[in-house]
Structure 1
């Protein structure tokens, strides 16, 4: 099945690409995404050549490439940032990193308010959404810091804080918050996955795989079947991001053999085949995904829908 897909040679010979984090909307279930965590950097030859056409096809998938990661995380509960009105794509940023911790003293007047008045949480969530949509990142970050202080056990706020820090170019700060989450829950799927993306974005290719292998060893030692599978899904995604296409496809195929009812590997393989212009194989994988997906999600329509118009922030539903 994979004989025709040798890693670099499976793509046009004059084309090379890498996947890394930039500011365009990620896809997830609770809050409208506003920037992809993944895009493509491509070098193509002549505008009229087959390589250039492939380059253009890959560019058209740049905003949807993160759906592979979203499919992996679709069965977990996670919060994402809301859509920001027409913000430009930024591929590189030089931002001063500061010592940062989301672990602040657990009691405050806000804590008492949130404990005694549940409606206050909805009000603050609405305010946070407005700040993010208006591009008031610093104000949103201050609000998240207060929410983390008031509700230190509520990991949703920490996830949002980490993602916002990443969006602001403060990668090390974002990773620090994810590490805090992982200290409490070393096998948190979302934290492992997003921290792995940030590590890969920072050029720590070998380190990110070792980190995931360590997490896999912990899950295997505890015989945690679900967590073992989840970590292996993340590893397959990182293999793809590191251009190990055959290896990623083999990993997904093995996961499919072990649990044919898990829809996630089918979606991931479908996306990879689409990027390789293997449309017949892609359709087969997407058809299987739709058959098994609990929400019967229409993949083609999803890919045609602007990511900024996805479901709104704060639905509170599990994926």
Structure 2
């Protein structure tokens, strides 16, 4: 599967914006390269990531627009475009952009997660799960077993984001029963137990996760970002609550 700023929209993490540290001299160098060649993709990328790193999202948007104009079929740029609009609080625009990507690739996990988070931040409630369940049905109809499982894990993670830990744990346990070799549900369960201050159980889950984690997992960074985002969201939710409104049932 399956996250740059305080209280950041999660897609800043999940879209895996590169952590590029450009000093002013380097930024100037790339700016001059663009002056010489307005379609220099590497220069556009470098300046975009440099702007994002500095928290200048509005300035970064024009560079991602230029990248899309040059490489309109590159999904990465379109995901980052949606990310930018989410980061500046334009949820309507971000939602529209994620939906555009999903029209072409309805099972793209990063777009599904991005849309789910924007809908969550836009206080759309149950509609988040309706959207994800629709994607789940598409995966089942197309017999895309891997996509189906990935979406089920994402649904569980969204329950965590919303503070619905009982629902999340139930789904994760079902996933483990179906495939005990998949490391991802253990990682999610470990985070849930940590949030509930059940440290021994959390440690047990994290150890299992580490023992099963492949050396080269293609979506490892994305999954890590998603669960870290979930952890950030739920901690903030708990901080704002006088008393917890949920409990974990064994």
Do they superpose with TM above 0.5?
Answer: yes
Distance in 1 between residues matched to 2:145 and 2:42, nearest whole Å = 36
Distance in 1 between residues matched to 2:121 and 2:20, nearest whole Å = 22
Structure 1 segments (4+ residues) deviating >6 Å? none
Q: Does 1:252 align with 2:167?
A: no
Q: 1:278 aligns with which of 198, 220, 234?
A: 198
Distance in 2 between residues matched to 1:80 and 1:35, nearest whole Å = 15
| CA-CA distance at 1:113 after TM superposition | 7.5
Consecutive unaligned residues in structure 2, runs of 5 or more: 22-36, 233-250
For residues 231-278 of structure 1, give each alpha carbon's deviation from its aligned partner in whole angstroms, at most 9, with x where no partner exists. 111111122222221110010111111111211111111011000000
Residue 12 of structure 1 is matched in structure 2 by none
TM-score of the superposed pair, with normalisation by structure 1: 0.58
| CA-CA distance at 1:283 after TM superposition | 0.2
TM-score of the superposed pair, with normalisation by structure 2: 0.73
Structure 1 residues 81, 225: CA separation in 2 closer, same or farther (over 3 Å shift)?
Answer: same
Structure 1 residues 82, 34: CA separation in 2 closer, same or farther (over 3 Å shift)?
Answer: farther
Given that 2:17 and 2:49 are in contact with CA atoms closer than 8 Å, whether structure 1 keeps it comes out as no
The structure with the greater share of residues assigned to helix is: 2
Structure 1 residues 249, 225: CA separation in 2 closer, same or farther (over 3 Å shift)?
Answer: same
Structure 1 residues 36, 234: CA separation in 2 closer, same or farther (over 3 Å shift)?
Answer: farther
| CA-CA distance at 1:135 after TM superposition | 2.9
| Secondary structure at 1:205 match in 2 | coil
Given that 1:81 and 1:160 are in contact with CA atoms closer than 8 Å, whether structure 2 keeps it comes out as no
Residue correspondence of structure 1 range 102-113 to structure 2 within 5 A: none
What CA RMSD, in Å, does the superposition of the two structures yield over aligned residues?
2.8
Residue 187 of structure 2 is matched in structure 1 by 267
The answer to which structure, 1 or 2, has the higher relative contact order (CA under 8 A, 6+ apart) is: 1
Residue correspondence of structure 1 range 148-187 to structure 2 within 5 A: 148-187=68-107
Structure 1 residues 133, 37: CA separation in 2 closer, same or farther (over 3 Å shift)?
Answer: closer
Residue 92 of structure 1 is matched in structure 2 by none
| CA-CA distance at 1:294 after TM superposition | 2.2
Residue 290 of structure 1 is matched in structure 2 by 210
